[in-house]
Amino acid sequence: PERGVVDIYTPSVRLPFAGHPLVGTAWLLDLPELLPPAGEVPARQDGEFTWITGRPAWAAGRRTRQYASPEEVEALPTPPEGEGWLYAWAWQDEAAGRVRARAFPRRGDGIVEDEATGAAALILSGELGRALNIAQGVGSQILTGPLPDGSIEIGGRVELAEVRSL
């Protein structure tokens, strides 16, 4: 932990980059950089928010699909029919960059919907070329901001829910 080396697993796959766990790890370890398999991930604290920076190429394999309204996103079954990773989203307020999203890994590993998905938020922010304020899952808020070098900053509030021994 003192070097920021991070390895992230789901029940079925090892992830080279995962924004949500990395934001939480950055908050917990309070280091200037984390080292997941994807590469060096700058991290910083900014008042109530914790930020990491990643590259869209690190989140390959995630597909985004825009829906007509937040209500249409809310009405999707869990998970929607189809194959492959899906990030379903709709504008809540396009001018303000506010989005409602839901993430469906569809890997067959028992995770039918992801509460917060920084990697997918990074992809969407890169595709749209703008900063976003994403409401995802039951109560997650994900903030994004494209940087001049093509990387994307991902941030949010972190709260310690429980401590477990592994």
pTM score, whole prediction:
0.93
pLDDT of residue 124: 97
pLDDT of residue 109: 85
| Position 124 in a domain | yes
| Position 2 in a domain | no
Which CATH number fits the domain that encloses residue 37? 3.10.310
| Position 116 in a domain | yes
C-alpha–C-alpha distance, residues 52 and 112, integer Å = 25
Model confidence at 125, pLDDT cuts 50, 70, 90, reads very high
| Position 161 in a domain | no
C-alpha–C-alpha distance, residues 54 and 129, integer Å = 14
Question: Which residue segment(s) compose the domain that 84 sits in?
Answer: 8-156
Phi and psi of 155, rounded to 5°? -145, 170
C-alpha–C-alpha distance, residues 162 and 155, integer Å = 21
CB 154 within 8 A of CB 52: yes
CA distances from 123 to 18, 45, 119 (A): 12, 22, 6
| Position 166 in a domain | no
Model confidence at 165, pLDDT cuts 50, 70, 90, reads confident
pLDDT of residue 163: 85
| Position 113 in a domain | yes
Model confidence at 107, pLDDT cuts 50, 70, 90, reads confident
Per the model's pLDDT, the better-predicted residue between 157 and 164 turns out to be 157
pLDDT of residue 44: 97
pLDDT of residue 162: 87
Is the pLDDT reported for residue 166 higher than 80?
no
Q: What is the mean pLDDT of residues 123-133?
A: 97
| Position 163 in a domain | no
Q: What are the tens digits of pLDDT across the range 28-62?
A: 999 999 999 999 999 999 989 999 999 999 998 89
pLDDT of residue 74: 96
| Position 3 in a domain | no
Residue with tokens 């990697």: 119
Average pLDDT, the chain: 94
C-alpha–C-alpha distance, residues 160 and 40, integer Å = 24
Beta bridge partners, 136, equal 101, 140
Number of domains into which the chain is organized: 1
Q: What are the tens digits of pLDDT across the range 5-22?
A: 999 998 888 999 999 999
